[in-house]
């Protein structure tokens, strides 16, 4: 009896630009051997030397013609007929996007949705000893404009979010350009193509790895068979652990057509639950299904990896009001444990998807996990990522918020479009539903929000998709413990009030964009779950140098055209200027400017995490249950909101977020008591044309573990203008899985200088130059659990002489790569990097605030014998360190 044969069409691919004067079946000349599989046309053109690298300089502008052309791919393959096989099919996991498919000169498929899996049944007689598969890719860009002419121009983002016609074509929306990415209209067979021949096969397996309310595990397995089932006699179901030890097995006989639940196992005591990172181990198991003939020979087999867990999106009334009122929670509960979600938004890691290797996916997600993040949101303008992405999240314990692929637009809902979207959703829900990391399906990104903001959209047809089609698909296909579904992000209040901070999730863009508030207003701008917010910052100079590509010296300044080519944020000139001028001294030196933007991003974003995580205040007081920064990653070398750049080089903000999301963290809020009620806002603290009557400190601690922790709180206050210091300690207990308010006191300051001229007001205080450091020490061992420092703001008012010579000292342990940092005076934003060239160094921590008497140890993997380069506030231009 024949086994199922799977022939992935890996080799013998070629490509060419279509000649408009010749039938696609008569294209004989000009074929080029493909150098990659799966393939995208830009990658082939680049590898062949036909185009310049679009990621360098202004080269993006030189390749726009590609998206308007038509392209052909051809694959030749041999096939030997097995007379025992009765069925055949071709499976296309991803065609980008408009593609006519021909097998041996016969059209077998017309594809128009990049996100669908296409399965084409074949008559075995259509397969020859030598076969040709021809793919004809048409221009998605031109079709979008044709459809727009037929159906009308709709609202879709702004000029930096691609052409509005994009909403009519089911292609990754970021390909049309976004406010962090280039315009590169790709096409090609970007995911595998497989020929399958068989007599009987396993068409679908759905394992339900269930966990009861009491965390008791069980397993159900649903199986669908296809083909000539007379050849099949039984199914064998096996459950194995990570060591491949079989834990349970069962044989089930087959008769007639088959689409049924085949086993229902109670697995109490046999398996362990899967937990998100930080809460337990990521126990994973393999469900194997074998289709056997009467002789026990395997006709077909599948394996699916599962984890036993239950996840809930809890939206219930809060017990008490916060600054916004009462409202409801928006929190994730896994295996009965309510968890604060700290994480990032994900955009595709490259405009050329075929270049993202499994190793690169793992490197990105490991970076996220190692930054103490436990959730990633896959944004709705990209793609449904390949299996390796979700497999890696399962292994690392990273929860996945999965948007369906709609972003910032008024999408149509005519019958053909809805049918295409329904199949797209079914294909991807079926593919992803078994992953224990999957925590939420979400209907769209910002479509409800934008309709409300615009105020002039009379018809919003895609409501049918978000409120009928997608929840139907998710509910029907995800089983007895369904994956939660959320209509859109953001979505919440009455009448879709997507900015209501008391209901649902919010995207907080009134800092940087929107009303352009100062970042210190994040404390007033939160919500029940902040699923987007962010501040951009430049990548490190090594990345800037890459895209500058040897540009003329005249281009090496922050406001050059070439720097603008690699910054797509809307109105970035004005928005950067507002935040930069509020906080930092103006500079035209590019390296100094890069550092300042990074420190600005680091301070603003980590402050938001700090003040919003503070609002995870215990049962019934989960006022903010999650914070996801926009964004984790980049798709090309660019200035953006990413916390690590295209080359996986973390910006300072990555490290400051990690400290805020650690198991234990400590926060400080300084509230200035002003001498006039109408004085300037709090971000100016005690500088400017006014004085203060003092300041109040509030100190809190966060404990993400599920047990209380006894600790010692240590405050260390240092005046930058004198040698005055102040230290005090307090015994505290950090309550489990919440924030604990620890201390409230007047900010200490140095005594008034009797020799100084009188101030004219005895109430004026001297705290305007005081740095306040806080540490949490383990009560038993004295080990540092967490630290932070609150500095006077804005930084531009700090005297340079007080900052530039802090008595910094570094010591090195070549064997371990440990770098110990000490300072005689406070240091703000110390960024360490490696001297010279070579591979990137992986720093365990960076962007440090260093206080005297508190040495910090950083491990630098890959530093070797290279020296260390330092930059910090007051000495922003990176320079080699010398003890």
Distance of CA 286 to the CA centre of its chain: 27
Residue 445: pLDDT above 90?
yes
- Report residue 495's pLDDT band, with 50, 70 and 90 as the boundaries: confident
Rounded Cα–Cα distance for residues 882 and 869 (Å): 9
The whole-angstrom separation of Cα 184 and Cα 60 is 8
Mean pLDDT, rounded, for 573-594: 93
Look at residue 760 and tell me whether its pLDDT is greater than 70.
no
Tell me the pLDDT tens digit for each residue of 314-355.
Answer: 999 999 999 999 999 999 999 999 999 999 999 999 999 999
Give residue-wise pLDDT tens across range 380-427. Answer: 999 999 999 999 999 999 999 999 999 999 999 999 999 999 999 999
Find out whether 205 and 223 touch, Cβ atoms under 8 Å.
yes
pLDDT value at residue 755: 47
Six-digit token string for 756? 């100084």
Q: Residue 361: which region, alpha, beta or left (left: phi > 0; alpha: psi -120 to 50)?
A: alpha
In 3D, which of 188, 182, 287 has the Cα closest to residue 244? 287
C-alpha 4/C-alpha 837 separation (Å) is 52
- Residue 816 in tokens: 């371990």
Strands 770-778 and 784-790: antiparallel
Residue 175 has pLDDT above 60, yes or no: yes
Beta bridge partners of 286: 240, 305
Per residue in 585-616, pLDDT (tens digit) is 999 999 999 999 999 999 999 999 999 999 99
pLDDT value at position 765? 76
Q: Which residue is associated with the tokens 């508190």?
A: 854
The pair of structure tokens assigned to 588 is 């035209």
CA distance 612 to 629: 12
Tokens 């705290």 sit at which residue?
Answer: 767
- Whether 714 shows a pLDDT value over 60: the answer reads yes
Q: Is the pLDDT of residue 618 over 70?
A: yes
HSE at residue 754, side-chain half, CA atoms within 13 A, is 0
2 has a pLDDT exceeding 60: no
* pLDDT value of position 761: 60
Give the per-residue pLDDT at 214: 94
| pLDDT, position 585 | 93
Tally Cβ neighbours within 10 Å of residue 746: 12
User: Any idea which fold 799-883 has?
Assistant: Immunoglobulin-like (2.60.40)
Q: Which region, left, alpha or beta, applies to residue 374 given φ > 0 means left and ψ of -120 to 50 means alpha?
A: alpha
pLDDT in the model for residue 684:
57
Three-state DSSP state, 320: coil
Select which of 424, 426, 446, 540 is catalytic: 446
* 645: Cβ contacts below 8 Å, ≥ 6 apart: 539, 540, 543, 634, 637, 638, 651
Residues 840, 862: Cα–Cα separation, whole Å: 7
* CA nearest to 81, candidates 129, 33, 37: 129
Q: Which CATH superfamily is domain 336-534+607-660 in?
A: Glycosidases (3.20.20.80)
Residue environment code for 661-680, b if the CB has 16+ CB neighbours within 10 A, otherwise e: bbebbbbbbbebebeeeebe
pLDDT of 689 above 50: no
* Cα-based distances in Å from 55 to 163, 179, 539, 560, 752: 21, 15, 15, 17, 57
Q: Are 480 and 220 in contact (CB under 8 A)?
A: yes
Active site residue 446: yes
Residue 1's pLDDT band, with cuts at 50, 70 and 90, is very low
Which of 276-290, 405-419, 739-753 is least confident? 739-753
Q: Which CATH number fits domain 5-195: 3.40.50.720, 3.90.330.10, 2.40.37.10, 2.60.120.260?
A: 2.60.120.260
Q: Give Cα separations from 42 to 203, 451, 881 (angstroms).
A: 34, 35, 43
Query: Measuring CA to CA, which residue among 461, 384, 3, 473 is closest to residue 172?
Result: 384
Q: What percent of the chain has pLDDT over 70?
A: 96
Residue bearing the bigger pLDDT, 176 or 798: 176
Delimit the domains of the chain by residue range: 5-195, 199-306, 336-534+607-660, 662-798, 799-883
Superfamily of domain 199-306 in the CATH hierarchy? Immunoglobulins (2.60.40.10)
Q: Do domains 5-195 and 799-883 have the same CATH topology?
A: no
Does the pLDDT at position 758 exceed 60?
no
Number of residues in the chain: 883
First to last CA, the chain: 76
CATH superfamily of the domain spanning 662-798: Immunoglobulins (2.60.40.10)
Cβ atoms of 92 and 405 closer than 8 Å: no
Question: How do residues 145-166 score in pLDDT, each as one tens digit?
Answer: 999 999 999 999 887 899 999 9
Q: Between 77 and 4, whose confidence is greater?
A: 77
């Amino acid at each position: 009896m024949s086994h199922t044969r799977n022939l992935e069409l890996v080799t013998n691919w070629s490509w060419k630009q279509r000649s408009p004067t010749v039938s696609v079946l008569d294209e004989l000349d000009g074929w080029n051997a493909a150098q990659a599989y799966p393939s995208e046309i830009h990658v082939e053109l680049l590898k062949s030397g036909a185009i310049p690298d679009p990621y360098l300089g202004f080269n993006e502008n030189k390749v726009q013609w590609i998206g308007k052309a038509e392209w052909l791919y051809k694959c030749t393959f041999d096939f030997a007929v097995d007379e025992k096989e009765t069925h055949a099919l071709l499976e296309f996991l991803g065609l980008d996007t408009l593609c006519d498919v021909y097998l041996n000169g016969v059209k077998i498929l017309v594809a128009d949705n990049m996100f669908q899996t296409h399965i084409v049944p074949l008559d075995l007689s259509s397969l020859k000893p030598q076969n040709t598969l021809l793919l004809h890719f048409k221009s998605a860009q031109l079709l979008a404009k044709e459809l727009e002419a037929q159906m009308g121009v709709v609202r879709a983002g702004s000029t930096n979010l691609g052409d509005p016609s994009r909403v009519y074509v089911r292609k990754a929306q970021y390909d049309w350009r976004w406010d962090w990415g280039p315009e590169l209209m790709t096409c090609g067979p970007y995911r595998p193509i497989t020929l399958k021949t068989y007599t009987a096969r396993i068409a679908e397996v759905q394992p339900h790895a269930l966990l009861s309310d009491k965390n008791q595990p069980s397993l159900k397995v649903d199986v669908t068979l296809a083909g000539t089932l007379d050849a099949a006699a039984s199914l064998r179901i096996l459950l194995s652990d990570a060591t491949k030890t079989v834990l349970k097995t069962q044989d089930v006989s087959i008769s007639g057509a088959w689409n049924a639940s085949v086993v229902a196992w109670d697995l109490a005591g046999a398996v362990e639950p899967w937990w998100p990172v930080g809460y337990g181990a990521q126990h994973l198991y393999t469900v194997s299904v074998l289709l056997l003939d009467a002789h026990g020979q395997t006709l077909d087999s599948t394996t699916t990896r599962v984890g036993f867990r239950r996840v809930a999106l809890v939206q219930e009334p809060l017990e008490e009001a916060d600054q916004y009122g009462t409202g409801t929670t928006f929190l994730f509960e896994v295996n009965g444990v309510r968890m604060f979600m700290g994480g990032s938004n994900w955009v595709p890691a490259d405009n050329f998807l075929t270049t993202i290797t499994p190793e690169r996916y793992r490197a990105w997600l490991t970076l996220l996990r190692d930054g103490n993040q436990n959730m990633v949101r896959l944004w709705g303008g990209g793609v449904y990522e390949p299996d390796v992405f979700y497999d890696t999240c399962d292994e690392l314990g990273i929860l996945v918020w999965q948007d369906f692929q709609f972003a910032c637009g008024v999408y149509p809902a005519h019958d053909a479009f809805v049918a295409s979207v329904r199949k797209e959703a079914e294909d991807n829900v079926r593919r992803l539903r078994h992953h224990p990391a999957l925590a939420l399906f979400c209907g769209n990104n910002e479509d409800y929000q934008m309709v409300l903001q615009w105020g002039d959209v009379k018809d919003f047809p895609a409501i049918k998709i978000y409120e009928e089609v997608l929840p139907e698909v998710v509910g029907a296909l995800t089983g007895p413990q369904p994956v939660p579904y959320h209509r859109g992000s953001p979505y919440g209040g009455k009448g879709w009030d997507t900015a209501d901070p008391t209901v649902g999730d919010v995207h907080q863009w009134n800092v940087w964009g929107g009303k352009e508030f100062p970042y210190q207003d994040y404390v007033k701008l939160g919500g029940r779950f902040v699923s987007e917010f962010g501040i951009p910052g430049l990548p490190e100079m090594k990345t800037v140098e890459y895209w500058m590509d040897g540009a003329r010296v005249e281009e090496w300044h922050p406001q050059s055209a070439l720097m603008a080519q690699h910054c797509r944020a809307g109105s970035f000139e004005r928005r950067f200027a507002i935040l930069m001028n509020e906080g930092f001294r103006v500079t035209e030196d590019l390296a100094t400017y890069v550092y300042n933007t990074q420190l600005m991003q680091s301070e603003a974003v980590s402050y938001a995490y700090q003040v919003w995580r503070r609002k995870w205040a215990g049962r019934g007081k989960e006022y903010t249950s999650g914070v996801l920064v926009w964004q984790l990653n980049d798709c090309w070398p660019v200035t953006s909101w990413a916390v690590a750049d295209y080359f996986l080089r973390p910006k300072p903000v990555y490290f400051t977020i990690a400290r805020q999301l650690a198991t234990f963290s400590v926060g400080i809020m300084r509230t200035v008591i002003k001498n006039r009620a109408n004085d300037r806002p709090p971000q100016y603290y005690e500088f400017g044309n006014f004085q203060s009557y003092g300041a109040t400190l509030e100190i809190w601690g966060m404990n993400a573990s599920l047990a209380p922790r006894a600790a010692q709180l240590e405050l260390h206050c240092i005046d930058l203008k004198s040698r005055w210091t102040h230290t005090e300690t307090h015994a505290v207990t950090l309550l489990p899985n919440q924030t604990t308010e620890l201390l409230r006191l007047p900010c200490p300051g140095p005594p008034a200088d009797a020799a100084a001229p009188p101030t004219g007001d005895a109430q004026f205080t001297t705290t305007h130059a005081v740095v306040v450091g806080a540490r949490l020490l383990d009560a038993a061992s004295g080990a540092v659990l967490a630290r932070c420092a609150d500095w006077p703001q804005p930084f531009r008012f700090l005297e340079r002489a007080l900052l530039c010579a802090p008595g910094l000292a570094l010591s090195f342990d070549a064997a371990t790569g440990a770098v110990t940092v000490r300072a005689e005076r406070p240091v703000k934003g110390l960024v360490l990097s490696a001297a010279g060239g070579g591979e990137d160094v992986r720093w365990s921590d960076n962007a440090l605030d260093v206080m005297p008497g508190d040495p910090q140890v950083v491990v630098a993997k890959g530093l070797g014998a290279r020296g260390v380069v330092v930059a910090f506030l007051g000495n922003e231009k990176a320079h080699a360190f010398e003890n």
